[in-house]
Amino acid sequence: MDIDPTDALPRPFPRTPLIDPFERAITYLRVSVTDRCDFRCNYCMAEHMTFLPKAEILTLEEIDRIASAFVERGVRKLRLTGGEPLVRRNIMSLIGTLSRHLGTGDLEELTLTTNGSQLQRFAQQLADCGVRRINVSLDTLDAQKFKEITRWGDLNKVLAGIDAALAAGLRVKINTVALKGVNEDEVDDLIRWAHGRGMDLTFIETMPMGEIEADRTDQYLPLSLLRASLARHWTMSDIAYKTGGPARYVEVAETGGRIGFITPMTHNFCESCNRVRLTCTGTLFMCLGQEDAADLRAAVRASESDDLLHRAIDEAISRKPKGHDFIIDRRSKRPSVGRHMSVTGG
């Protein structure tokens, strides 16, 4: 009997779509390209952060390789985060390289979440690379309060960046963390400002991630209470609008604009989770609110072939949990998850 010599060769790992144990298709990858940020938002970071050594950080080429492997497996939306993604050196070269997947149609959307500090410099380049929509994190329109929240941010620089993004044709969504006793008196002004400029506005509950100086039980504002307060001033109707993330949207009759609510604490949205998160060190977190993770950096650096990488991705997705375990506990005052959001990716 003749023997086919190719039988002795290793079989390529099959590039099948990613389906987790609960039959959810994984179509959304969030990639933290750096843990560094030019702000120190007091609900996100400690004031004196120790950042990761360069050797532990994925190169831009490695990020492209891992992200492209996910695109090959059916990921249709790719979001770059940080820290602050636009402070990563040569970040536009990575965005330009990843944009090839938009050209082939394999990727529906390439986007990013930013604090806006570098937008004035990069907005037009982002648009030229095929980015059509971005999220800007902004918690107040009060310059002094902004500096207190971010510790050393410049509100005018962020507002100029938003202007530049809109001028470049980017659609901008504002993300606002609802902070009790800090910005709850500004929500009406934020709605008028954002909707007046054609921008959606999403409110987010503070999440118990990483040790910070403040007590999160003092910061925590349930969005159920915020929405009830808004209903006294605005006519809101639930709509089916989705952007691929966990926000639930309403339309405001008075403005015609949309408000989103992201409620990891008061309403667990895990049943429809379609996303995983890659850190700048190559660690894949299958759930934002769990510590279980997979090391994709080792797989990338062990072989020039992507087979090991795809095997590691498959094994990781097979462990994706049904949901997170977030809780804000006044008794222990300990975060549910030890790592900071800047490490995992905002």
Residue positions in the annotated binding site?
30, 37, 41, 43-44, 79, 83, 113, 137, 173, 207, 270, 273, 275-277, 287
Distance CA 8, CA 255 (A): 66
Distance CA 43, CA 149 (A): 8
Q: Tell me the binding residues for [4Fe-4S] cluster.
A: 37, 41, 44, 270, 273, 287
269 backbone dihedrals φ, ψ, rounded to 5°: -100, 20
Asked whether the bond before 83 is cis by omega within 30 degrees of 0, the reply is yes
Determine how β-strand 236-238 pairs with β-strand 200-205: unpaired
Degrees, nearest 5: CA angle 10-14-17:
165
Q: Which helix (H) or strand (E) holds 117?
A: none
Two structure tokens written together for 276: 């995983």
Q: Tell me the binding residues for S-adenosyl-L-methionine.
A: 43, 83, 137, 207
DSSP 3-state of 128:
helix
* Secondary structure of 32-57 as H, E, C letters: ECCCCCCCCCCCCCCCCCCCCCHHHC
Beta bridge partners of 259: 201, 250
Report yes or no: 208 and 250 within 8 Å, Cβ to Cβ.
no
DSSP 3-state of 73:
coil
Q: Tell me the binding residues for GTP.
A: 30, 79, 113, 173, 275-277
Locate all alpha helices (DSSP H) within the chain, ordered by sequence. 60-72, 91-98, 100-104, 119-128, 143-150, 155-167, 187-196, 216-219, 223-230, 296-302, 307-317, 341-344
- Backbone torsion region of residue 102, taken as left when φ is above 0, otherwise alpha when ψ lies between -120 and 50, otherwise beta: alpha
Distance CA 234, CA 31 (A): 36
Report yes or no: 327 and 14 within 8 Å, Cβ to Cβ.
no
